[in-house]
Structure 1
């Protein structure tokens, strides 16, 4: 691994692995690039206070205009002044600039691909991620630490105006939601079939798109191994099981 002084901020769970798709997205990139880093675990309840204390910038604003803080975040003390970043894609863009690979094919953001990568991110976010909460909410809740469960329940119930257990879809509504998500994976599978060689979205080389989708699928695997993961690996003739097997060597926690 390339020796650095990188601290990567992730969210702990009751499992030995994280389950956030956005932190997994960056972790996959760090591991793929072979960078040495340490993980600092920060419960969701503490993200804002820790971020403010370390000068980590907010990633957005609430409807009332108050800054919001989320993970992943990264502090790189390898150079002076240190780089302090938040939000997954800007972090990966920084890593690409600061730690370029001498092999031009071994890059996550190939020259001229940024617009297509952004379009892919938008598609996955709007056609898959946006539809997961109503079928994943209790799976997500059960994997959080005790403190974060209370925090998650409070936020979700305030946002939806109902008990956490009532946010989750059941019966036919749940089946229809999973069918819509399956349809989005069907489209991705058809697009991948256009590649003559390679299992990834850029063919034989990993890219930002794979870090995003791979991070999301790791979330499904760990948050919902007995429902979401079983469904996904059964779709498209096992394509997604093979896809994740190819990513496995980078899906490790340091």
Structure 2
């Protein structure tokens, strides 16, 4: 089985920076699955996915990254969306059978809970910090596409939508506390460890790390650091 992983192009070189593609990158690396990576500029994503026969997403953007193309014999199977990819990789992986992205029956529910909390609490301050700076790590055509589409979505220029970044940082410091408490409880549990499930990493960790990487990559685009 050959896997091609489609990530979003960055002018900084071969690096995953989007919170969603980071999840897939972590899944592939954790399971030690051999693969190659193809980086797509934003305007090229839809064309690429259509050529692979990937069905459009039922909600939101029709075609997004991450996506993977799986070649078995002469057949190619492709899909998009990070959670769907994670489930597929976990079910079909034969490279490292001792590792699982969803190591027990409760792992999927925990991952969905962490994703929901991230979406409702953490996403807003992180997005307001990261999105204005994402333009600085994109290739020229990706940058133009990103600025144009986000301006249309927000109904205003990106910087105006983001507002006061100092307030966003303060909100982030406040909102990240819930994740700190979850991780402290996991560390003090019967199977204590640094992950949401204690000593075993799972998809819930990849969800959280995806946002940390997004914030880090975007914040370092212009040389800034807030610790």
Bucket of the pairwise TM-score, normalised by the shorter protein: 0.7 to 0.9
What do the CA deviations read for 1:54-106 (whole angstroms, capped 9, x no partner)? 112222345xxxx7111100111136743311100010000010016433xx3
Give the gaps of 5 or more residues in structure 1: 235-254
* SS of structure 2 residue aligned to 1:182: helix
Give CA deviations for 1:126-163 in whole Å, capped at 9, x if unaligned: 21123333222321111111101111111122122222
Alpha-carbon shift at residue 40 of structure 1 (Å): 1.2
Q: Which of 3, 6, 11 is matched with 1:6 structurally? A: 3
1:109 aligns with 102
> Helix, strand or coil: the match of 2:72?
coil
User: Within 5 Å, which residues of 2 pair with 1:23-172?
Assistant: 23-61=21-59, 68-78=62-72, 81-99=75-93, 101-103=96-98, 106-113=99-106, 114-170=108-164
Distance in 2 separating the partners of 1:186 and 1:79 = 48
Q: What TM-score comes out, normalization by structure 2 length? A: 0.88
TM normalised by structure 1 equals: 0.79
**C-alpha separation between the residues in 1 aligned to 2:80 and 2:143?**
23
Q: How many aligned residue pairs are there? A: 220
Cα separation, partners in 2 of 1:185 and 1:164, compared to 1, 3 Å = closer
Structure 2 gaps of 5+ residues are: none
Alpha-carbon RMSD across the aligned residues, in angstroms, is 2.2
The question of whether the paired residues in 2 share the 8 Å contact of 1:60 and 1:69 is answered with no
- The DSSP-based 3-state class of the residue aligned with 2:69 is strand
1:227 is displaced (CA, Å) by 8.8
1:148–1:102 Cα change, 3 Å: closer
